[in-house]
Amino acid sequence: MTDRENYNDLYAFMLVAREGSFTKAASKLGVAQSGISRTVRDLEARLGVQLLTRTTRKLSLTQAGEQLYRTAQSSFQTLDNGLSMLAHFRDTPSGTVRINASQHAIDKVLLPKLAVFSQRYPEIRLELISESRFVDIIAEQFDAGVRLGGDVGEGMIAVRITPDIEMVAVATPEHFSRYGFPQTLKDLAGHPCIAYQFADGSLYQWEFWLDGKLIKHKPQGQWVFSDSYMEASAARKGLGLAYVPEDLVAEDLEHGTLIRVLKRYSHRFAGLHLYYPHRNVSPALRMVVETLKMS
C-alpha cells in the first residue's frame, strides 16, 4: 500500500466484494457501474495485486482480495461502532466527569447536590478531587473546577453554585475567657490566631471592612494549616481564633461550642463557581452544571 490508501476506494471494493456485483455496489453508492469498476482496477494497480476474478457470469475474490476484504470489513465495522459510541456520548449523559475543588466545596456543595446522580444518572462517573492549591484544570485533565468567583481565570465559563460566602471569626468560650473578647480589629493583636497557608507558602491575610475600607490582618500564632476544615477543627480544640467560612462552623455557633466575634467587620466572598474551558461540553458535564447552578 501507499502511505495512506484512499478509504473511499477501499469501501467501494468492500461493497463490490460483499454484493458480488459491480452493478449492485454502484447502486448502493449512487454512482455509475463503470466508475466503480474503474475504482477497483485503480486500487489493484496501486496495490500491485489482483483482488477480483471477473468472468461474464461470476465475480469472485482472489486470495489477496479475500484477505483485504476481511481486513476492510473489520476495520469499517470498528469505525462504525466508534461513531455510534460518539453519538451515544452526545445524546446520553454518561462517562466520567472530573472536578477539582476544595474539601469545603465538595462536602458542603458538590456531594449534597450531586448525590442524586446515583439514581438519576447511573452511567455518569464522578471524580471529585480535593486539593488546597490552584490547579490548571486543562493541563491536569479536569473537566471542571470550583473556585470563588474572583479567582476564576480569564476565558473560563463560570456558573455560580453558591450564594456569597461570609467569613466568621470564631473561638471557644475558654479562649475568650483567657484572652477576652476583641471589640475592634486592633484587639486581634492580643489573640493567638490560626492561619491558612496557600500552596505558594504565603498566608491568607484576614480581610475585614472598616468604614467602607478593606482592612487586612496577618494572623500570628502557633498553628498553620492549608485546609479550612483543619482551621475550624483547631479552633474547636481551643488552639486559637480562626477566620473561616460560616457554613463550616454553623452547628458550633448554634450549640455555643464556638463563639463569633467582630461580626460587623466580616468580609464576604463572591460565592463558589463551577468553571470549565469551553461551551461544547459533554452531556454528562452539562447535567452536572444544570444540577449545581443556582436558580
Q: Residue 102 pLDDT > 60, yes or no?
A: yes
Record the cell numbers describing residue 239, joined without a space: 488552639
- Spatial neighbors of 108 by CB under 8 A, at least 6 apart, are 247, 248
Distance CA 21, CA 37 (A): 10
* pLDDT at 55 (0 to 100): 77
Q: Residue 83 pLDDT > 80, yes or no?
A: no
Distance CA 151, CA 147 (A): 6
Per-residue pLDDT tens over the stretch 150-161? 778 778 899 999
What would the mean pLDDT of 171-191 be, rounded to a whole number? 96
Q: Which of 272, 267, 293, 139 is nearest to 209 (CA)?
A: 267
What dihedral angle (degrees, nearest 10) is formed by the CA atoms of 196, 202, 208, 211?
170
Q: Per mean pLDDT, which range of 96-100, 227-231, 273-277, 291-295 is the poorest?
A: 291-295
Phi, psi of 73 (to 5 degrees): -60, -45
Record the cell numbers describing residue 249, joined without a space: 462552623
Per-residue pLDDT tens over the stretch 49-73? 999 998 777 888 999 999 999 999 9
Question: How far does Cα 5 stand from its chain's mean position?
Answer: 38
* pLDDT at 134 (0 to 100): 77
The pTM of the whole model exceeds 0.85: no
* pLDDT at 4 (0 to 100): 59
State how far the alpha carbon of 283 is from the alpha carbons of 67, 279, 286, in Å: 40, 11, 5
Residue 286 is which amino acid?
A: R
Match 463572591 to its residue by C-alpha cell: 270
Q: Residue 1 pLDDT > 50, yes or no?
A: no
Q: Residue 194 pLDDT > 90, yes or no?
A: yes
- If one compares 198 and 236, the residue with the highest pLDDT of the two is 236
Average model confidence (pLDDT) across the chain: 90
2 band by pLDDT with thresholds 50, 70 and 90? very low
Domains and CATH numbers, the chain: 7-91 (1.10.10.10), 95-160+271-292 (3.40.190.10), 165-269 (3.40.190.290)
Q: Residue 101 pLDDT > 60, yes or no?
A: yes
Radius of gyration of the chain (CA): 33
